[in-house]
Amino acid sequence: MAGLVGLLLWLGIGCARSERQVDSGIREGILYINNGAEVPDLDPHTVTGMPEFRIMDAIFEGLVEQNPDTREILPALAKKWEVSEDQQTYTFHLRAGLTWSDGVPLTASDFVRSYERTLHPELVADYAYLFEIIEGAAAYRQGGESDFAKVGVKALDERTLEIRLEHPVPYFLTLMTYPCWRPLPMHLVEEHDGLRRRGARWTREGNLVSSGPFVMTRWEPNRVLMVEKNQRYWDAETVALNAIHFLPVESLDTEERMFRSGQLHITNVVPNSKIQGYREMADTPLRIDPQLGTYFYRFNVTRPPFDDARVRRAFSLAIDREIIVERITRAGQSPAGSFAPPGAGGFEPASTVALDLEEARRLMAEAGFPEGKGFPDVEILYNTSESHRTIAEALQQMWNTGLGVSLSLYNQEWKVFLDSLDTLDFSMARSGWVAVYDDPNQFLEIFTSGNPNNHTGWASPEYDRLHAASMAEGDPIRRMQLLQQLDSMLTEQAIVAPIYHYTNFYLIDPRVRGWNPGPLDKRRYKYVYFDEPGEG
């Protein structure tokens, strides 16, 4: 509480100011944005959350980028590339004169060494599995091969990078927009002993350097993370903003008050209770954008009672998703009958889950809990947020009324919550997965055996077999059918209970221009500008 009070005082809420922060920000070229949570780190190889990704979109750039509206792949650090006839070898040509923000040349070897780092077994990088499409990468990651020279990544010269794939991957270029594919400043990673170690200080204030349009200059945990324009960025002339201040305010009501009092240009979200009022407002600052993502609950299948698929399925069938989107979220979300969202790379689910209390009660009785009798004490875990609490309370009531079970609620702040997921220290937990590349595989691959983002304890040889087949399938129709089977397995065995498919809703100062995150929630900060530059 004391930290929140200090934050509010620092931001000037409740005290007189001669000039609103958003107005001075427009005059000085500084964007004030709430990021929703304090980030644990800024290492693209080890972080997994959207708050971290949003900041990394400002400070790291990769070979290619993606237009968030058209989803077109565009050159970034790579000026051009060629693809072999068999679609398995990509040759990227870097722009001339690339440097890190400290002036050190950025070369093809930075990519090679970065990929070696993320694949090394000792780092246990959360997204290392994404690289297993590269020739020889799986054997290196799993420890069967210790010579990285046998992995299909090679710097042909300082400006030419070759990547050889195990098989054609139709979404490879869009996959490369994921933060983990961006190069790291390996000269600093090595200097701070971060080659094989998480949490090394190369990502901290005063150490971190950038390849993107901004460079981090100040990080005060639980108060603010500041980035300033990177003057050595290859496209610095396009960057209009001088700085961005990311604030880690978790309270939705607090950030909404900050917006109204002129402390924020853009909020992270909007309190559900305020959405209708903003909808009805003339010249409303409310924006609701489409977003490819799913809000869901995951079950810990290693812990009773959710080690029983009948109980998991009963809980999923007892959810009234229509009520949640119509009466609680109220920002254009759609009820989710599948885990992978419709529209991701053309995906449409083959089967869905919906409210069916009769079947849910039958399954609970069959599992030994008729009318909820004898059901153990279970906690619903969610990360600290009014909106997550409201949904958890609604589910708590639905499961009590529909199944006769009494559950308790438990919340944790973001970093602790992530640790609980990593260690399976929960029974059921609120979760979300948002697309950062345009293909349903990014939703479905996380539930393969041993995937570090699985966070359920579930492993299925059949699921793994189908997923491996989908990865090697060259026919797009057959591939999509395999992905549909995978999605159906998740909902039928209720490894997860999908709740709704996201929209991206927030408040934005009308003077902010060029803010177009699109359905993939890409933050292209280099194109953001104010329509009153130099005005007070």
Question: How many Å from the N-terminal Cα to the C-terminal Cα in the chain?
Answer: 34
Q: CB neighbours (10 Å) of residue 285? A: 18
pLDDT at 14 over 70: no
Position 436 pLDDT exceeds 80: no
**Residue 11: its pLDDT value, please?**
43
Taking 70 as the threshold, does the pLDDT of residue 283 lie above it? yes
Asked if residues 103 and 119 have their Cβ atoms less than 8 Å apart, the reply is: no
Give the span between the Cα atoms of 247 and 226, in whole angstroms.
9
Look up the pTM and report it: 0.84
Predicted local confidence at residue 197, as pLDDT: 92
Give residue 438's pLDDT. 81
The single residue listed with the structure tokens 């420890």 is: 143
Q: What is the pLDDT of residue 533?
A: 45
Integer Cα distance of 189 and 200 in angstroms: 8
Separation between Cα atoms, residue 255 and residue 263, nearest integer Å: 9
**Across 146-160, 429-443, 490-504, least confident range:** 429-443
Q: Under a CB-based contact definition with an 8 Å cutoff, are residues 331 and 270 in contact? A: yes
Least confident window among 241-250, 328-337, 413-422, 525-534 = 525-534
Give residue 128's pLDDT band: very low, low, confident or very high (50, 70, 90). very high
Identity (one letter) of the amino acid at 176?
M
CA–CA gap between residue 483 and residue 488 (Å, rounded): 9
User: What are the tens digits of pLDDT across the range 144-160?
Assistant: 899 999 999 999 999 99
Report the pLDDT value the prediction gives residue 534, as an integer from 0 to 100. 41
Helices 386-403 and 272-279, interaxial angle, to 10°?
110
DSSP 232-244: TSTTGGG---SEE
Supply the pLDDT for residue 18.
Answer: 54
Tell how many helices (H) and how many strands (E) occur in the chain.
17, 18
- pLDDT of 449 > 70? The answer is yes
pLDDT at 10 over 60: no
pLDDT at 532: 64
Does residue 338 contact residue 476 with C-beta atoms inside 8 Å? no
Distances from the Cα of 97 to the Cα of 107, 240, 397, angstroms? 9, 22, 60
Tell me if residue 218 falls in helix, strand or coil.
strand
Q: What is the mean pLDDT of the chain?
A: 92
Confidence bin at 72 (pLDDT 50/70/90): confident
**CB distance 266 to 512 below 8 Å:** yes
Of residues 47 and 266, more confidence is placed in 266
Choice among 1-10, 226-235, 287-296, 409-418 with the minimum mean pLDDT: 1-10
**Percentage of the chain modeled with pLDDT above 90:** 83
**258 pLDDT higher than 50:** yes
> How far apart are alpha carbons 22 and 19 in whole angstroms?
8
What are the pLDDT digits (tens) for 203-221?
A: 999 999 999 999 999 999 9
Please tell me the predicted confidence (pLDDT) of residue 66.
Answer: 87
The two tokens of residue 33 are: 């944005």
* Amino acid 2: pLDDT: 40
What element of type H or E holds 366? helix 357-366
pLDDT at position 428 is: 98
What is the largest distance, in Å, between two alpha-carbon atoms of the chain? 70
Residue ranges of domains in the chain, CATH in brackets:
1-36+213-267+508-536 (3.40.190.10), 39-203 (3.90.76.10), 289-504 (3.10.105.10)
Q: How confident is the model at residue 190 (pLDDT cuts 50, 70, 90)?
A: very high
Angle at 400 between CA 394 and CA 401, to 5 degrees: 90
Gap between the Cα atoms of 410 and 253, Å rounded: 20
